[in-house]
Structure 1
Amino acid sequence: MGRFLASSLNLLWKGFPRNYSVGQASKSNLSQLRKRTGVPLKNCREALEKFNNNLEEAEKWLIEEAQKQGWARADKLQSRSMSQGLVGLIQSRTGATMIEVNCETDFVARNEKFKDLVYRLTVACHSNLQKDTYKKSLQQEEVNSLPSENRKLSDIVALEVGAIGENMKLRRAVFLPSSEGQYVNSYVHNSDKKVVIKDCHLGRYGVILSVEKTAGTETTESVEAITTDLAVTGWNTPPFSTERQKKFLFHTSIQPMRKDQTIGYRSFHTTSLRMNDKLTHLGSDGKAKMVDVGAKDETVRTAVACASISLGKKAFSLVEANKTKKGDVLSVAQLAGIMAAKRTSELIPLCHNIGLSKLSVDLSLQRDSYSVYIECEAKAVGKTGVEMEAITGASVAAITVYDMCKAVNKEMVISNIRLLSKTGGKSGEYKFDQC
């Protein structure tokens, strides 16, 4: 059952029923059940007493109860957006498998338990997908139904959600097989240090590159060298041009990450990127300009933005008890966010001065991740939106929390600053797509 159950069940058990007294638990079974599951002895004893010292039934029941608790917490947290996470990638003689696992904060993404979860999910996916050596692309529902450890991968994720207390999901997986004349290479890009657990590479970006040799003049070594270079450098470049392809004696099959295409080259990233065709704050000469909104209609404009700051256990405890030397952290940060949002046009060049009719900043403590979650809502009746006011309010509130706690922990991390929703104006409604 390993480290996973030891960590997950231990944290989840405190909410379970403890009123079973059918029989006495034997010491040998008690010791074995403790080693298998990792839950406290008292809880193991209760499970054994419930099932009259039947070790297998007691273990099964412990796991089922932990799984129920994990799913309950997962259901409760499922509405919270996830823009962070890790890519896991394994390459063997049969091919390469890559998965994407999302979470809410980069604080959790750097957590060792989360890394271990991504590693185990990657291994499980590779074990399942390599059984049939053809290209596969599995979206969320399919990949979560794959079996591992006598259960579905979705159950494993749910257990970890219950243990860590943050929304997580196994989003998708891809497998690219190796075959005769087909060369597969892969690479994982990291934003900080390289993370490798056994033969599984973890990081922020992942690339699988497939190259098919179509002429006999290229050696195996030269093709492998080229695939290595392209896997390392090709993740952030557009598809090859026709001119470039003609220079090689082999055909490259490449593909950006899009749901409507077949697999060849696959690049995964844990966040979404959207870009408008035209930047409104640039003139025809490429110089910055302020947009003229005089001809626009006045409509009701709203926007909600969020931010998170990971405090660490010690700083979080002080904030929760309101015992920091600088005073009430949440109240001061709330006031700072409101003041900053009202002065957005003075802080950000080219922003219009807007008369806000409503502005609220709410901060909530997230005990499971030792963090503070911040939401800022702005509202106005005008000719331009209030997105920047909402984002500014959430950001400055997070910065203020950092300032008031930095004497305790200078390694706090501000993350997940983003627009959650907006209404009004010509572009209409927008809502952050967590998928």
Structure 2
Amino acid sequence: MGRFLATNVSLILRGFPRHYCVGQASKTNLSQLRKRTGVPLKNCRAALQKCHNNLEEAEKWLKEQAQKEGWARADKLQSRPMSQGLLGLIQSRTGATMIEVNCETDFVTRNEKFQYLVYRLTLACHNNLEKDASKKVLQHEAVNTLPSENKMLSDIVAQEVGTIGENMRLRRAVFLPDSNGHILSSYVHNSDKKVAINGCHLGRFGTILSVGKTSGTENEDSLKELTKDRGVTRSMASVFSTRKQKKPNFHLSTQFINKSLKFGHRNFCTSSLKYNQKLTHIDRNGKAKMVDVGNKEETVRTAVACATIFLGDKAFSLVEANKSKKGDVLIVAQLAGIMAAKRTSELIPLCHNIGLSKVSVDLSLQKDTKSVYIECMSKTVGKTGVEMEAITGASMSAIAVYDMCKAVDKEMVISNIRLLSKKGGKSGDYMFVLK
């Protein structure tokens, strides 16, 4: 009898709908909240339980928490370098607005959440800047104080930092009005596929070009075509980077073509060539050459370079547990980096063949970004530096990680390959400094 009662009670409890139980989150609301916010199911379930299955209140609570956590995480991550990002560009009847949003990795730039964030920020800047007909350029502090959705743009960025989990910032914005007698054209270049959200074009670098007639009676269609061509040409001549410059990182120029067209353009690029510096591997005739280091003194030279490969959840869990079918991923990658550093001169045509006294490769797992961070140190006593050996070692180590894990995930991304420091030689010491 006791067994019969216990069985029936169990069946009754098992058949009782979960959404009628106090403190439980219904599957329907849980699924909808997950789609709306994109936050993990664990957080969605906690929000629904806290708000008694009220979907609207749970979504509001999650956004508030994301913003609070975002500010805290933004403060924690603010020292981490941001070498990647996207431009957002919107053009309307009033003018064109272009902004730059930075992030840490190329992996995040392909994230739909980050792309939608760039769209929201571009639209907000455009709505604010088009109210003033004058040309505007806003740097970091000014653009982040612009209002949108009853909050500042800095709050919107902080909220997404809490959601995405990577350092990000809205760096700057520019607005060029569409005035009478001028033709406005804009162009954004993408490194991979074209990305556009509701008329907002996203890419690596772009141009806003304004053309006005100063004399003559040029055809309007020909002017539009010329403006478009010039905008594309200027964009393709730009390089996207986030290295801070002493001068503004976009260019405003005025040019005359056939003494009849006046050009003004805004061009976002963050690196510039110093034409007074000469490339040592090019001779007077523009041909490649190997630098003669015979007259240099032998000194102790060291260099440290780094690279990062972003694995994704599945591949990272296998590497962390050392359960890859090919063997120990980190050990194999370490050996690959050391071997590559020793054979750098065979891989890079104009690199000197030098004797290395030491090569070390260190790999560490980064749980927060599901990535492997790699550092390679090379050392020699010689007449030329070992920067390329360090960079080659770090790069090949990352490639080896990819090879070991490609059966699990082919969307892994190798990024942030750079020289961290060098010592010795005539040019002196160098240390990478985040600016």
TM-score range, shorter chain: 0.7 to 0.9
Q: Which residue of 2 aligns with 1:384?
A: 384
2: CA distance, partners of 1:275 / 1:342: 32
Is 2:51 aligned against 1:40?
Answer: no
Q: Which residue of 2 aligns with 1:335?
A: 335
Alignment of 1:116-195 (within 5 A): 116-195=116-195
Is 2:262 aligned against 1:251?
Answer: yes
2: CA distance, partners of 1:273 / 1:410: 34
2: CA distance, partners of 1:302 / 1:46: 56
Question: Comparing 334-343 with 84-93, which one deviates more in the overlay?
Answer: 334-343
2: CA distance, partners of 1:214 / 1:46: 66
Post-superposition offset of 1:344: 1.9
CA contact (8 A) 2:345 2:353 kept: yes
Letter in structure 2 aligned against 1:144 = N
Letter in structure 2 aligned against 1:42 = A
- SS in structure 2 of the partner of residue 42 of structure 1: helix
2: CA distance, partners of 1:305 / 1:209: 39
1: CA distance, partners of 2:218 / 2:285: 47
CA contact (8 A) 2:303 2:377 kept: yes
CA contact (8 A) 1:164 1:368 kept: no
Question: Comparing 364-373 with 131-140, which one deviates more in the overlay?
Answer: 364-373
2: CA distance, partners of 1:115 / 1:34: 20
- SS in structure 1 of the partner of residue 217 of structure 2: coil
1: CA distance, partners of 2:274 / 2:332: 35
TM-superposition CA deviations, 1:206-238 (whole Å, max 9, x none):
110011221251243332232122222332359
1: CA distance, partners of 2:184 / 2:163: 37
Q: From the superposition, tell whether residues 134 and 299 of structure 1 become closer, same or farther in structure 2 (CA, over 3 Å).
A: farther
1: CA distance, partners of 2:130 / 2:61: 32
CA contact (8 A) 1:164 1:369 kept: no
1: CA distance, partners of 2:145 / 2:382: 49
Q: From the superposition, tell whether residues 125 and 423 of structure 1 become closer, same or farther in structure 2 (CA, over 3 Å).
A: farther
1: CA distance, partners of 2:69 / 2:128: 27
Q: From the superposition, tell whether residues 283 and 357 of structure 1 become closer, same or farther in structure 2 (CA, over 3 Å).
A: same
Post-superposition offset of 1:241: 12
CA contact (8 A) 2:214 2:261 kept: yes
CA contact (8 A) 2:66 2:160 kept: no
Alignment of 1:233-312 (within 5 A): 233-237=233-237, 245-247=256-258, 249-253=260-264, 265-269=265-269, 272=271, 277-312=277-312
Q: Which residue of 2 aligns with 1:14?
A: none
Q: Which residue of 2 aligns with 1:203?
A: 203
TM-superposition CA deviations, 1:162-213 (whole Å, max 9, x none):
2222222222111111111222210111112111100100111211001122
Runs of 5+ unmatched residues, structure 2: 1-21, 239-250
Post-superposition offset of 1:357: 4.4
CA contact (8 A) 2:89 2:201 kept: yes
Q: Which has the larger radius of gyration?
A: 2
TM-superposition CA deviations, 1:118-155 (whole Å, max 9, x none):
11111111111111111111122222222222222222
Post-superposition offset of 1:81: 2.1
2: CA distance, partners of 1:390 / 1:78: 27
TM-superposition CA deviations, 1:311-330 (whole Å, max 9, x none):
33322221122111111101
CA contact (8 A) 2:87 2:101 kept: yes
CA contact (8 A) 2:298 2:383 kept: yes
Q: From the superposition, tell whether residues 274 and 168 of structure 1 become closer, same or farther in structure 2 (CA, over 3 Å).
A: farther
Q: Which residue of 2 aligns with 1:92?
A: 92
- SS in structure 2 of the partner of residue 291 of structure 1: coil
Post-superposition offset of 1:422: 2.7
Letter in structure 1 aligned against 2:350 = L
TM-superposition CA deviations, 1:363-419 (whole Å, max 9, x none):
233344433222222334433222101100111101111111122233433233222
Q: TM-score, normalised by structure 1?
A: 0.79
What is the CA RMSD across the aligned residues, in angstroms?
3.4
CA contact (8 A) 1:310 1:370 kept: yes
CA contact (8 A) 1:301 1:380 kept: yes
TM-superposition CA deviations, 1:67-107 (whole Å, max 9, x none):
23212222332333222221100011111100111222221
Q: From the superposition, tell whether residues 236 and 250 of structure 1 become closer, same or farther in structure 2 (CA, over 3 Å).
A: same
Is 2:420 aligned against 1:420?
Answer: yes
Question: Comparing 155-164 with 97-106, which one deviates more in the overlay?
Answer: 155-164
2: CA distance, partners of 1:78 / 1:295: 45
Q: From the superposition, tell whether residues 190 and 407 of structure 1 become closer, same or farther in structure 2 (CA, over 3 Å).
A: same
1: CA distance, partners of 2:85 / 2:33: 32
2: CA distance, partners of 1:299 / 1:143: 49
1: CA distance, partners of 2:229 / 2:386: 45
Q: From the superposition, tell whether residues 288 and 223 of structure 1 become closer, same or farther in structure 2 (CA, over 3 Å).
A: closer
CA contact (8 A) 1:333 1:400 kept: yes
Q: Which residue of 2 aligns with 1:218?
A: 218
Identity of aligned residues (%): 69
Q: Which residue of 2 aligns with 1:371?
A: 371
Post-superposition offset of 1:340: 1.6
- SS in structure 2 of the partner of residue 209 of structure 1: strand
Q: From the superposition, tell whether residues 408 and 82 of structure 1 become closer, same or farther in structure 2 (CA, over 3 Å).
A: same
2: CA distance, partners of 1:433 / 1:224: 44
- SS in structure 2 of the partner of residue 166 of structure 1: coil
Q: TM-score, normalised by structure 2?
A: 0.79
CA contact (8 A) 2:359 2:377 kept: yes
Post-superposition offset of 1:115: 0.7
- SS in structure 2 of the partner of residue 400 of structure 1: helix
2: CA distance, partners of 1:159 / 1:190: 26
